[in-house]
Structure 1
């Protein structure tokens, strides 16, 4: 911080009032030293207390704002002119800017009329120039020397007083402004890396704002039994606080409201401007390892949660700051990378499909981070809405070109209770591949949009978002699906009540209009009229929506051509349904065929 000739170098970190600056030195392996400097021979109006118990002196706010906007974050050169031991203050001269000579901050404040020059036996070395600038400001009636009645009336802020019931009601503010709406504010204090004391504009309410989705190390709390003892900060707490102070303290920010807790604290995303571009403060502090993601507040976020998780994952891999001794816990999930385009051949269930990649290889993909109702096996009945979830996926992506982004693999062990399960555990383990599937489709306005089939299922109540442990891998779209899930849980859209049966179990009753007309034409001449099931007819080959041929569940046109009939005249392997009552394309129900005589009670 020192420099030859008694001059010191630093950066202006905070502006408490119109005549006082807090300057910090250069960073060398931790938070640097600081000095509180009052501009020599100047006195500015005093600000009122935050709680509204005392009012501003006239033009106190305007004076502070002038100095804050001019100097905050600026590198400077300063010198201590004199000290007043009785009030433990240091008075000095501060210069900013790269010009030659640099700008004297005291000159600028006095010339703008936002501070007065005072006498005394201890004076600034530039007192004569200060007196001249003050006389000029009075003559020009600028700043606090104005005679304008409107400016004089507006010179004192109308601060809300908490004691009179005028304190901020955070819940009312959230309901009035709306979730996800930005609110202008000035950061007045940094309590820790992700807890801020802000002044909301233009109401001048003071509120505590938590950076949504993140938590940084605590600066500690005072011991009630020993209030004089300094609290003990957690590791990296000072570094996190310093990181926040260097970027947003005394800066104008936008707080995107996300939620409120029971202590009347606001949760939001904090954005500030760098080179005329908005920057998310939360993304910055989590990327350097000075904050961690917490699910209980991350659930409030409408956007940006995925980027916070990606930043935390990068910090863990780099073992930065609080993750310096991070060791990945053992887990069945393994992060995988890879993206490709392919065609959906089969829909196994609402959250599992088969995709054929450009090389002709088929992959069984489970949708990452969601769970759809199970279809059931053999004699097990499908879970409620399992058929609807599967049918929804079929109607949207069967036969279509999709983009697959692999997310993670999961090992599934051998079933418990079987003989020799422990010895054969490794051999019996299966690996499930989880990924995100998106596709291009025309919206209601006719524009082509990218849709995520997993998000579509969650939004319609046909699937739920899975809960992951803190270190588990998950879909990159995981947090974007949490809000639709909350809406579904509140409205119970699509998802049945506990124990309630599914109202729809047969796909033929959910045929689209274009299928209803096509199905009767595909039935054999002896089949029932009106689109019923052809129980005694040979299974027709139905053209499925978005497919080249075969059933809607699987594109099997080529396989059917290659399949040879059974020597006994029984259906071929691709003609036999998987189970009694299996449903196929176009709403046609194919069941195991029985002789006419068996159904009619006579001979064939």
Structure 2
């Protein structure tokens, strides 16, 4: 089902039916509960199904090279199952028997809300399950209220002010800029903050096929941002690693409300990072995923 993943239930086979404790087929915590929950509500019931993705065809001699370059390979049908009484996906999430699958945001964005599309309702249902500490959330501390979590952000904290306005003074790369902001601690009353756009990656300059897009992305930001007032929201801080300094990863918006990361994705100058479960991400992550899928 699109947008959610339930824990794996115990699997039985002719070889281990007599011994249900076989470790090779042991299910995940709450997997059996999730399966039983769905069976009770959908088995032998009439439902409507909207297929939004088909399995990726097996590569042939003519298509193997093209498919090898695809960033997303789907091995099963992905769809929305709607019962007249409501969405089973949202019910699973609200009862702590499933988690939201972030990378399905692009698929769900193509389906109207009245047919079960969109991620917002799934995010709200998951937040409800977390707050009530149901299912697999029982052992997890109740999350602090954070509006950014509704879009896929974990709401991670960062030092200093979480939001600020400033003027873009320099473009380093297609995803990193410097912003001049007011600062009482500086003699001239201003300081530069070097920030990186959250949850996107620009092509590597050494990439033989897409490396040229890195300079195009930088030029786009230079034309659209240099000397312009922008609003910045800090999503998370990437810690220092080796010779790389700690980086503030942010969402930058123009006065018109345009998300700069989304602008790069629309032009094909960046890709969205596939974050692991619970990893910090952009406050507009679902929107970025939807744009990339277009």
Shorter-chain TM band: 0.5 to 0.7
Distance 1:250 1:477, change over 3 A: farther
- Partner residue of 1:451? 258
Matched, 1:335 2:142: no
Distance 2:46 2:165 in 1: 45
Distance across 1 between alignment mates of 2:87 and 2:17: 36
Does residue 397 of the first structure (1) align with residue 225 of the second (2)?
A: yes
Give, in whole Å, the separation in 2 of the partners of 1:478 and 1:356.
26
- Matched-pair contact (CA < 8 Å) for 1:346–1:354: yes
Q: Deviations over 1:279-332 (max 9, x none)?
A: 6543442243211344676664436347656765775687542244459xxxxx
- Which 5+ residue runs of structure 1 have no aligned equivalent? 1-210, 328-332, 377-382, 416-428, 442-449, 488-604
Given that residues 4 and 99 in structure 2 are in contact (C-alpha distance below 8 angstroms), is that contact kept between their aligned partners in structure 1? yes
1:388: how far off?
1.6
Distance 1:286 1:404, change over 3 A: farther
Q: 1:313 to 1:245 in 2, by over 3 A?
A: same
CA shift digits 1:259-286 (9 cap, x unpaired) = 1237996422345567xxxx65434422
Tell me, yes or no, if structure 1 residue 348 matches structure 2 residue 155: no
8 Å CA contact 1:213, 1:293 repeated in 2: yes
1:432 paired to 2:240: no
Q: 8 Å contact 1:373–1:389 — kept in the other structure?
A: no
1:393 and 1:438 map into 2 onto residues whose CA distance is: 12
- What is the 5 A alignment of 1:146-545? 211-225=1-15, 234-241=28-35, 243-244=37-38, 255-261=49-55, 266-271=77-82, 280-294=87-101, 300-302=107-109, 304-305=118-119, 308=122, 320-325=134-139, 335-336=156-157, 338-356=162-180, 362-373=192-203, 384-415=212-243, 430-441=245-256, 450-482=257-289, 484-485=291-292
Distance 1:272 1:436 in 2: 37
Matches within 5 A, 1:567-582: none
Superposition pairs of residues 29-40 of structure 1, within 5 angstroms: none
Decide whether aligned partners of structure 1 residues 252 and 395 sit closer, same or farther in structure 2, where only a CA change above 3 A counts. farther
Aligned CA-pair RMSD: 4.3
What's 2:187 paired with?
A: none
2:146 is matched with which residue?
none
Q: Per the alignment, in what secondary structure is the counterpart of residue 12 of structure 2?
A: coil
SS in 2 for 1:430: coil
Q: Which of 1 and 2 has higher RCO (CA within 8 Å, sep 6+)?
A: 2
Aligned partners of 2:83 and 2:181: how far apart in 1?
44
SS at match of 1:389: helix
- The Cα of 1:353 is off from its aligned counterpart by 2.2
CA–CA distance in structure 1, aligned partners of residues 252 and 124 of structure 2: 19
Q: What is the CA–CA distance in structure 2 between the aligned matches of 1:235 and 1:255, rounded to whole Å?
A: 28
Change in CA separation of 1:430 and 1:308 when aligned onto 2, cut-off 3 Å = farther
Q: TM-score, normalised to structure 2's length?
A: 0.61
1:232/1:471 CA distance change after superposition, 3 Å: closer
Secondary structure of 2:231's partner?
strand
Query: How much does 1:475 deviate?
Result: 1.5
Gaps of 5+ in 2: 57-73, 110-116, 142-153, 184-189
Alpha-carbon offset, residue 455 of structure 1: 1.7
Structure 1 position 461, deviation (Å): 2.0
> How far apart are 1:220 and its partner, in Å?
3.1
Q: Name the counterpart of 2:114.
A: none
Q: CA deviation at 1:223?
A: 2.2
**Equivalent residues of 2:106, 2:291 under 8 A apart:** no
CA distance in 1: counterparts of 2:17 and 2:156, whole angstroms: 48
Distance change in 2, residues 1:280/1:410 (3 Å): farther
In the TM superposition, residue 368 of structure 1 has moved relative to its aligned partner by 0.3
Q: Is the 8 A contact 1:223 1:229 kept in 2?
A: no
1:453 to partner: Cα distance: 1.5
Distance 1:385 1:227, change over 3 A: closer
Per-residue CA shift, 1:235-269, capped at 9, x if unaligned? 32353245446766777765443212379964223
If you compute each CA radius of gyration, which structure gives the higher value, 1 or 2?
Answer: 1
Shift of 1:212: 1.1
User: How far does residue 370 in structure 1 lie from its aligned partner after superposition?
Assistant: 0.9
DSSP 3-state at the match of 2:264: helix
